[in-house]
């Protein structure tokens, strides 16, 4: 297993060993004992989502019962982003981004205290599997405008398909005035 840390403390890219040949591949996608050794929490729920091509979701976070998310593409490809929203962090407002591909299994660990979003890169769409370490609380959810220029995220492509909710997310400056972490 290969584990990549970033300049921002917290997020990790975890690439399990893949065994493959002309017939396909095998990979041990998740093993709790190994992930606990990496310092990740116990996970209590698996979520599965499907997004059409060019969909962008985010930037979302949970401030009441915050969730850490272990994100993986199982079909298609995504550009996945984590933004540090911890006011006391030296990397407050900075982000990391990775590409996740269904044919190259990897997990992206997005800890609580980070806003998360992704853009589908594959035309046929993408299926995303993510493990979380807390139950979802819709009353404790927030978000930030994915294209706020202060964040400087270079999202691939143009004209993403967005939900109405994601179109109306507050700015980074609005979050800074009332931080949740």
Active site residues per annotation: 60, 130
Distance (Å, rounded) from C-alpha 82 to C-alpha 48? 19
For 11, 14, 113, the CA distances from 89, given in Å and listed in that order, are 13, 23, 10
Spatial contact of 56 and 120, defined as CB atoms under 8 Å apart: yes
Cα angle at 136 between 15 and 147, to 5 degrees? 65
Spatial CA neighbour of 144 closest among 179, 106, 100, 99: 179
CA distances from 11 to 18, 26, 43, 53, 85 (A): 22, 25, 16, 26, 13
């Amino acid at each position: 297993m290969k584990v990549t840390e970033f300049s921002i403390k917290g997020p990790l890219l975890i690439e399990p060993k893949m065994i493959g040949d002309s017939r396909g591949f095998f990979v041990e996608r998740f093993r709790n004992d190994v992930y606990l050794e990496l310092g990740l929490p116990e996970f209590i729920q698996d979520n599965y989502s499907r997004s059409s091509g060019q969909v962008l979701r985010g930037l979302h976070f949970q401030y009441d019962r915050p969730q850490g998310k272990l994100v993986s593409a199982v079909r298609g490809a995504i550009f996945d982003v984590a933004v540090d929203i911890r006011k006391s962090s030296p990397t407050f407002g900075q982000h990391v981004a990775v590409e996740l591909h269904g044919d190259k299994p990897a997990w992206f660990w997005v800890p609580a205290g980070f806003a998360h979003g992704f853009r589908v890169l594959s035309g046929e769409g993408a299926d995303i599997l993510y493990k979380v370490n807390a139950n979802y609380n819709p009353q404790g959810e927030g978000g930030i405008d994915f294209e706020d220029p202060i964040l400087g995220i270079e999202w691939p492509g143009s004209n993403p398909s967005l939900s109405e909710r994601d179109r109306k997310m507050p700015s980074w400056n609005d979050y800074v005035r009332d931080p949740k972490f």
